[in-house]
Amino acid sequence: MSPYAALFERGFTRVEPERAHHLGFRAVRAARPLLALRRTPGTLVSALGLSFPNVLGLAAGFDKNAVGIDALGALGFGHVEVGTVTGEPQPGNPQPRLFRLTADRAVVNRMGFNNDGAEVVAARLAARGRRTPGYGAPVLGINIGKSKVVPEAEAARDYEKSARLLAPHADYLVVNVSSPNTPGLRDLQAVEKLEPILSTVRAVAGGVPLLVKIAPDLADGDVLAVADLALAVGLDGIVATNTTVARSGLTTPDAELTAIGAGGLSGRPLTGRSLEVLRLLRGRVGSAMTLIGVGGITTVADAQARLDAGADLLQAYTAFVYEGPLWPRRIIKGVQS
């Protein structure tokens, strides 16, 4: 058993998951001066008109408020996607709202876009300043979502506010319409509702690359419809996929799942469906746009399969939690060997 695995099994698993996240993230930020001495691993990847230090990034949800970008980059991540950030600050859903499914190497969350809001995050990023990606500085993605208090009819305006405030600080933007934890949000994936949001954000984002993040629970036909819309609107890419509301095929007992309740499932159980969605998208869009593969990437083989299926870039979150701070470098080294 590795030192991190022992710490996780004997330490972190005894700490409430959300508190463990904050403690672990605080430790990463505190270690940044030492981490910064290590060169970011990997081979440069050209995507979205940008040069990424390597193929692997940290998915949105880990650094919701853009407080540890450079420390996370120093761990080896070639890009860090912060957020989800909403137009208005919000506390998220009541706790507890984060749960480990250790037997499945998975996590259930119903965080509800808890974040400081676009104005505060924009000010924080302005104070950080723009960084040239490379030695210790990752490409910065910003993931934006709908504020819970904003009605669906005003969703485009809400996304526009976030994009206007945050685009000046982003290397790329992601429109998130696929979290299951904001009521009605996934309904916005319907093309007739998604088109005005994407067009509005596109108009205010200027030349910042724009992507949309979709759910693994979309039917195949709906996945293809979103791909067609992305091409029509002129998006630069698609992030596939977000968490799932499905619970089939899990090792975790049904009684435990019932006690946990609603939320998005991430981790190893997503591997198959996320790979399928990626293949569907690449078959539809050809080489016209960047695809970021995320969902259930745990091993080098998982990462390589996603690249072989057409992903230009990869992202992970749950495996990082289970495998520890040395995991990003192992994956990057593995897919290059």
- The residues assigned a catalytic role are 179
Is residue 241 annotated as involved in ligand binding? Answer: yes
The helix/strand/coil state of 313 is strand
DSSP state of 311: -
Tell me how far apart the alpha carbons of residues 54 and 38 are, in angstroms, rounded to a whole number: 14
Of 315, 286, 335, 337, the residue nearest 143 (C-alpha): 315
Is residue 113 annotated as involved in ligand binding? Answer: yes
Is residue 60 annotated as involved in ligand binding? Answer: yes
Is residue 318 annotated as involved in ligand binding? Answer: yes
Is residue 251 annotated as involved in ligand binding? Answer: no
Instruction: With beta carbons less than 8 A apart as the criterion, state whether 146 and 179 touch.
Output: no
Is residue 333 annotated as involved in ligand binding? Answer: no
Is residue 296 annotated as involved in ligand binding? Answer: yes
Is residue 54 annotated as involved in ligand binding? Answer: no
Is residue 84 annotated as involved in ligand binding? Answer: yes
DSSP string, 27-91: HHHHTHHHHTTSPPPS--EEETTEEESSSEEEPTTSSTTSSSHHHHHHTT-SEEEEEEEESS-B-
- Dihedral (CA of 58, 60, 66, 68) sign: negative
- Dihedral (CA of 95, 326, 269, 302) sign: positive
Strand partners, 101: 106
DSSP state of 325: T
Is residue 64 annotated as involved in ligand binding? Answer: yes
Is residue 68 annotated as involved in ligand binding? Answer: no
Tell me how far apart the alpha carbons of residues 73 and 80 are, in angstroms, rounded to a whole number: 7
Is residue 62 annotated as involved in ligand binding? Answer: yes
Is residue 93 annotated as involved in ligand binding? Answer: no
The CA R_g of the chain, rounded to the nearest whole Å, is: 18
Q: Name the binding residues.
A: 60-64, 84, 109-113, 143, 176, 181, 213, 241-243, 267, 296, 317-318
Q: Name the binding residues for FMN.
A: 60-64, 84, 143, 176, 213, 241, 267, 296, 317-318
Q: Name the binding residues for substrate.
A: 64, 109-113, 176, 181, 242-243
